[in-house]
Amino acid sequence: MPLLEVRNLTKCFGGLSAITELDLDVFHSEILGVIGPNGAGKTTLFNLISGFYPPTHGRVIFEGKNITGLKAHKIAQLGIGRSFQASTLFLKLTVFENVFIGFHMNYEEAAWKSSLHTRSARREERAIRQKVLEILQFMGLVDLKDQIAHNLPHGHQRILGVCIALATHPKLLLLDEPLTGMHPEETSRMLDLIRKVQGRNITIVLVEHNMDAVMQLCDRIVVLNHGRKIAEGLPKEIRDNQEVIEAYLGTEEED
Amino acid sequence: MTVAVFAQLLVNGLAIGMVYVMVASGLILVLGVVRIFNFAHGEFYMLGAYTTFFMCQVFHLNFFISLAIAISIVALLAVISYTFVFHYIRSDILLCTAASIGLSMMILRGSLLSFGTEERGLPSPFPGGIKLGEVTLPSEKLAVILLCFFVMSGLYVLLMKTKLGKAMRAVRLDTEAASLQGINTNRIYLIAFAVGCALAGLAGGIIAPVYSITSNMGHALLLNCFMALIVGGLESMLGGVLGGFVIGIILSFGAYFLGGFSEIILFGIIGIILVFKPGGLFGEAVGHE
Amino acid sequence: MSNQKRRTKITTALFLLGSILALLPLIIKSPYQIHLLIMTGINVMLAISFSILFSAGLITMGPAGFWAIGAYSSALLVMKAGLSFWLSLPLAGISAGLVALIVGLVIVRNPGVAFIVQTMVINMIIVQILGQLEFLGGWAGILGIPNPNSIGPIRFVSKTSYYYLILFLLLVTTAGIYGAYSSRVGRAWRAIKLTPHLAETLGIDLYRYRLLAFVISSCVAGIAGSFYAHYFRSLEPGMFSVFKSIYVQIYSILGGLNFYLIGPVLGSLIMTFVPEFLRVSKEIEPIMTGGILIALVIFLPGGILSLPERLGFFSRPLLSRSRQTGVPPSEQGDH
């Protein structure tokens, strides 16, 4: 059974259809790439899956459960994590604090115990502190843990975004253009990190413009254009797919 | 209820309504363009009334000349306030609220000290009434309605037809886009603030001969003005106009039928409106994430 | 300075502060000044009420409304239902919280300017209702509210006993709210304030947490109201207007909006005592206070507590990061 199933998904804003009758499967432990020219509906797809707005038609099914129309925080609680296009972080907080807050869902003790600072609550906080450091270590940011997020270079901010998402212990991780604005070393570092994340048994869906990266990294690729799926398959199939090439060339000519 | 009484209530309601409309429009202008809640707005209204009073009574000037002087003084004070205070803190709504309270404290106390605590009355430049059939409508209230209508039309022309007005509307919609278009946003903020306060001052001057003038008149009016804003929607001028009328009519008719309860009804209606349309009747739901 | 040393310093400072506060009435003989301290205490609670919501990203213009609900509830429970003050105090907080819950269910959906305006309207409605209902005393209000029942030898006749009571209430409130701020709840509020979208993806239910902040904030205001009613012994609706709500905001702003507990304390102290220390006649005083307020807002937008940083006094910020953000420090060691 696929981890995530998208059936007949449609989203209209006003009179415009951002996504039309989209069918999609995401399988366990894969890295699925979603590509397409600008405006193809990729971020809309993410917003629909992660619950920021409900679809106009269609369903989203996660681990066999219908999650269509659930609110964003509920969907996060079910195990879908996400990073954003822009550096959506807690910019005024440090790296450490950012990831710490990410553990919000993963407390055992009740919240009121946390307020009273009972011994078990404090013990748990120490445990979480350890886990935060582990994640930072894993993603290579541990030396920067006390830096204010705002001051980090762009590449590190994107990595931090992924760290925060990891703190939620997701089963499915949606990465929205993680490579945008990165130079080559940052890019290859991010690719390594994404592979490492996959190694932790986390399924990843990736929206990206960087074609090389997508071809290298993804197990399968889905191509969207004008809100519809126009191709799906292995990277080498997509690379040679005529429709895909035209879709991209089409937008190039418009420039 | 006889026709005469109805007509009186209507005229009364319209007159009050027009005053609210003017003051509320000033408030919305400032809120929409400069994006600050000016809690000293009522004080500008009060100053307009007092200045008009003084020009008429003490210097024996013509009513309209007094009005003109009142507007100028109020506008000048607004310009000073903006340049030295709000200009620096414009981006933070809380700081502006606090500063406007400080300003309100200063103006109110200054007024109390200068003008004393007694109520003042200005003899009306439009005495008597106009007969329509069996009904006599008080001229002074008709004058208020007419004058306010005149001013509001002028405001409409300013906002819709002039370059300045278009600039103000552009800034209101999108400050960044406006400055990219070459509009000097700082000057627009200043002008919008001055015009908004001047509207309040003018309203005060127009109403000066009709109701008594006290130092507190601004305060009480202000809260009801926020009501008008809320009914109409914080984003829309038309909304503010409608809001003002609604307030005026409800207060006028309400006072006749229900006495004090008219205000509870008012607030109740507003509460209900807000439940369904948090942005007011004409606003979009403000406050998205 | 290591965390351990810092912790000892802070504990000592708090202990000293506590002792001074406890002994203050013995030093200050003037009942008027004790009265000022008590007023400051009440204002601190109201400012804390504002700050709780602010820490969750909501600006309210209506804390005075819930203050009113607490005050009137307490007065009525004692005068009409014959309850003891010690029962009516918590009940006042609860009733304010209940009203906040009902109202909040609706208005907390719309954060931002809509919320500000709605809280303003609610405040106005509350004042109007209190003024119109005759059995609540109408616009003249309630007079002759009894003082709190004596507990043991402590009789609430002189101001001193009231002083200790408000001090106690403040202590409990501050401890409780501090606990909340440095816990999972406080961290969630901060997350909601900083970047709501991100908070959602972390499983934080924005609506629930905002509602919680609203209810807790109103409870605090309600409790302050109960104390106020039995200290002042008379209430009238005009005391609880929107203008008072804005004054409450000012207490927090002057102290420093980013300091959710100390800020209200300092800000209230400033607004209560500065007019006293201005050696000008009572008549000119509001002009000076207004002027100082404006000056402070322009030159110290971060509040008084931003002053040390501004002047470069400390290389470390005034409060350790963990106290400010509610997140434990990243180093091994104590808070």
In the numeric block, which tokens belong to residue A116?
Answer: 């009273």
Classify residue C147: in a domain, yes or no.
yes
| Residue B141 predicted with pLDDT over 90 | no
Residue C316's pLDDT band (boundaries 50, 70, 90)? low
pLDDT score for C335: 38
Candidates B189, B176, B171, B262; CA nearest to B224 is: B262
Domains of chain A: 1-79+170-255 (3.40.50.300), 89-169 (no CATH)
What does DSSP assign to residue B131?
E
Q: Evaluate whether C259 touches C50 at the Cβ level (below 8 Å).
A: no
pLDDT 10s digits, A229-252: 888 889 888 888 887 777 776 655
Higher pLDDT, C48 or C271: C48
Q: What is the mean pLDDT of residues B84-92?
A: 89
- Please return the burial class of B116, using the count of CB atoms within 10 Å of its CB with bins 0-12, 13-18 and 19+: exposed
Classify residue C313: in a domain, yes or no.
no
Higher pLDDT, B146 or C324: B146
Residue of B34, B94, B234, B288 best to disrupt the C interface, most CBs of C under 10 A: B94
B34 in contact with chain C, both atoms CB, cutoff 8 A: no
pLDDT score for B286: 40
Residue of B31, B105, B114 best to disrupt the C interface, most CBs of C under 10 A: B105
Contact: A89, C198; criterion CB under 8 Å = yes
Classify residue C305: in a domain, yes or no.
no
CA atoms within 13 A on the CB side of C92: 32
Q: What is the mean pLDDT of residues A142-159?
A: 88
pLDDT score for C83: 85
In this predicted complex, what is the ipTM? Answer: 0.88
Higher pLDDT, C147 or A235: A235
B partners (3+ CB pairs within 8 A) are C
B21 in contact with chain C, both atoms CB, cutoff 8 A: no
Contact: A96, C190; criterion CB under 8 Å = no
Classify residue C319: in a domain, yes or no.
no
Contact: C327, A81; criterion CB under 8 Å = no
Classify residue C191: in a domain, yes or no.
yes
Q: How many CB pairs under 8 A join B and C?
A: 127
How many domains would you assign to chain C? 1
Integer Cα distance of C231 and C255 in angstroms:
25
pLDDT score for C302: 83
Among A162-171, B273-282, C154-163, the range of highest mean pLDDT = A162-171
In the numeric block, which tokens belong to residue A17?
Answer: 């259809």
Candidates B204, B162, B187; CA nearest to B69 is: B204
Contact: B285, C110; criterion CB under 8 Å = yes
Contact: B99, C294; criterion CB under 8 Å = yes
Integer Cα distance of A126 and C38 in angstroms:
40
Residue A253's pLDDT band (boundaries 50, 70, 90)? very low
pLDDT score for C309: 67
Residue of A88, A115, A136 best to disrupt the C interface, most CBs of C under 10 A: A115
B234 in contact with chain C, both atoms CB, cutoff 8 A: yes
| Residue C269 predicted with pLDDT over 80 | yes
Classify residue C209: in a domain, yes or no.
yes
Q: Evaluate whether B281 touches B269 at the Cβ level (below 8 Å).
A: no
| Residue type, position B175, single letter | T
> Distance of CA B157 to CAs A112, A127, B59, B164, B243, Å?
59, 67, 33, 10, 20
pLDDT 10s digits, C200-255: 999 999 999 999 999 999 999 999 999 999 998 889 898 998 889 999 999 999 88
For residue A9, the cross-strand partners are A22
Contact: B97, C246; criterion CB under 8 Å = yes
Q: Evaluate whether C226 touches C81 at the Cβ level (below 8 Å).
A: no
Closest partner residue to C327 (CB to CB) among A50, A52, A101 is A101
Give chain B's length: 289
Closest partner residue to C114 (CB to CB) among B267, B271, B278 is B278
Domains of chain B: 3-276 (1.10.3470)
Out of A100-114, B12-26, B81-95, pick the least confident: A100-114
Contact: B274, C132; criterion CB under 8 Å = no
Residue B262's pLDDT band (boundaries 50, 70, 90)? low
Residue of C177, C190, C195, C201 best to disrupt the A interface, most CBs of A under 10 A: C201
Q: What is the mean pLDDT of residues C160-188?
A: 90
What is the chain A residue with the closest CA to C192? A90
Q: What is the DSSP string of B196-254?
A: HHHHHHHHHHHHTTTS-B-TTHHHHHHHHHHHHHHHH-TT-HHHHHHHHHHHHHHHHHH
pLDDT score for C201: 92
Classify residue C247: in a domain, yes or no.
no
| Residue B250 predicted with pLDDT over 80 | no
Q: Evaluate whether B278 touches C110 at the Cβ level (below 8 Å).
A: yes
Closest partner residue to A76 (CB to CB) among C182, C195, C200 is C200
Q: Which residues of C touch A92 (CB under 8 A)?
A: 194
Q: What is the mean pLDDT of residues C302-307?
A: 80
**Residues of C within an 8 Å Cβ radius of A:** 176, 179-180, 182-185, 187-188, 190-191, 194-195, 197-206, 321, 325, 327-328, 330
In the numeric block, which tokens belong to residue C316?
Answer: 């470390």
Closest partner residue to A73 (CB to CB) among C187, C205, C327 is C205
Candidates C223, C210, C188; CA nearest to C41 is: C223
Convert chain A into a string of H (helix), E (strand) and C (coil): CCCEEEEEEEEEECCEEEEEEEEEEECCCCEEEEECCCCCCHHHHHHHHHCCCCCCEEEEEECCEECCCCCHHHHHHHCEEEECCCCCCCCCCEHHHHHHHHHHHHCCCCHHHHHHCCHHHHHHHHHHHHHHHHHHHHHCCHHHCCCEHHHCCHHHHHHHHHHHHHHCCCCEEEEECCCCCCCHHHHHHHHHHHHHHHHCCCEEEEECCCHHHHHHHCCEEEEEECCEEEEEECHHHHHCCHHHHHHHHHHHHHC
Coil, strand or helix at B120: strand
| Residue type, position B102, single letter | G
B109 in contact with chain C, both atoms CB, cutoff 8 A: yes
Shortest alpha-carbon distance between residue C198 and chain A (Å): 7
In the numeric block, which tokens belong to residue C271?
Answer: 């607004």
End-to-end CA distance of chain B: 50
Residue of A53, A96, A97, A130 best to disrupt the C interface, most CBs of C under 10 A: A97
End-to-end CA distance of chain C: 13
Q: How many CB pairs under 8 A join A and C?
A: 101
pLDDT 10s digits, A132-144: 999 999 888 888 8
Integer Cα distance of A213 and A211 in angstroms:
5
C partners (3+ CB pairs within 8 A) are A, B
Contact: A91, C194; criterion CB under 8 Å = yes
Q: Evaluate whether C75 touches C235 at the Cβ level (below 8 Å).
A: yes
Contact: B102, C290; criterion CB under 8 Å = yes
What is the chain A residue with the closest CA to C324? A93
In the numeric block, which tokens belong to residue B139?
Answer: 């001229």
Which helix H or strand E contains C139, and what residues bound it? Answer: none
pLDDT 10s digits, C320-334: 666 667 777 776 544
| Residue A254 predicted with pLDDT over 50 | no
Contact: B95, C301; criterion CB under 8 Å = yes
Classify residue C16: in a domain, yes or no.
no
Candidates A151, A157, A155; CA nearest to A179 is: A155
B103 in contact with chain C, both atoms CB, cutoff 8 A: yes
Shortest alpha-carbon distance between residue B40 and chain C (Å): 11
What is the chain C residue with the closest CA to A84? C198
Range of the domain at C147: 31-240
pTM to 2 decimal places: 0.87
